[in-house]
Amino acid sequence: MIIVIFTISIIIIVLTIFFFVARARLLEKGKQSQVCYEALQKEANLEASIPTTFCVNSSRIPQIIVSCFKDNPLPRYKIVLLFIRLRAVIRLFSKEKVVQTPAIISAMSACSSIASKIGQFRNYPGSKKAATYSDVALGGMQALRLYFSHTMTPDFSQIRFDSCFSINDAFNGSFYK
């Protein structure tokens, strides 16, 4: 009984520390995304006519962690998929030596702003009030999809081939529900 209570308290302490570190990393990536976006605008001579906001919502952290354990489309590979997801979450909230996630988020935001600008040129309804809101955590998930889609290890490729799932199924939309 004491061992169970001790184990649970250790898990709670580790999750609390992870939450505070993850929140700090998320804020840092949000600021880096803004800097990358401004540099991208400057280099590509893009007008800043569409307001762009990078949202950092710390409530996404528990949502993403809980989603690792839910919505498993492949019961046969439950453990493998769980470890792939947990590895991705740890990578999402880790410090990057080379800024990748903010650059990807800012590029996606720039594409969205350009698409909104095209909508304004074509006079689409609602395009005059267009704005771009980029969620840093969910944008980071897109960066992770790019990272995992390039995984070429035989074990991962064989599992993906056997179950006929693509990398999008590793994060099967449960974060958007």
Q: To the nearest 5 percent, what fractions of the chain are helix, strand and coil?
A: 70, 5, 25
> Average pLDDT, whole number, for the chain?
76
pLDDT for residue 169: 47
Point out which residues pair with 56 in neighbouring strands: none
Q: Residue 53 in contact with residue 134, Cβ under 8 Å?
A: yes
Q: What is the dihedral of CA 135, 69, 25, 7, to 10 degrees?
A: 150
**CA 111 to CA 93: how far, in whole Å?**
24
Amino acid identity of residue 120, one-letter, is Q
Q: Which residues of the chain have pLDDT under 50?
A: 163-177
Amino acid identity of residue 14, one-letter, is V
- Rounded to 5 degrees, what are φ and ψ at 152? -115, 15
pLDDT for residue 173: 46
**CA 71 to CA 85: how far, in whole Å?**
12
Tokens of 79: 């453990």
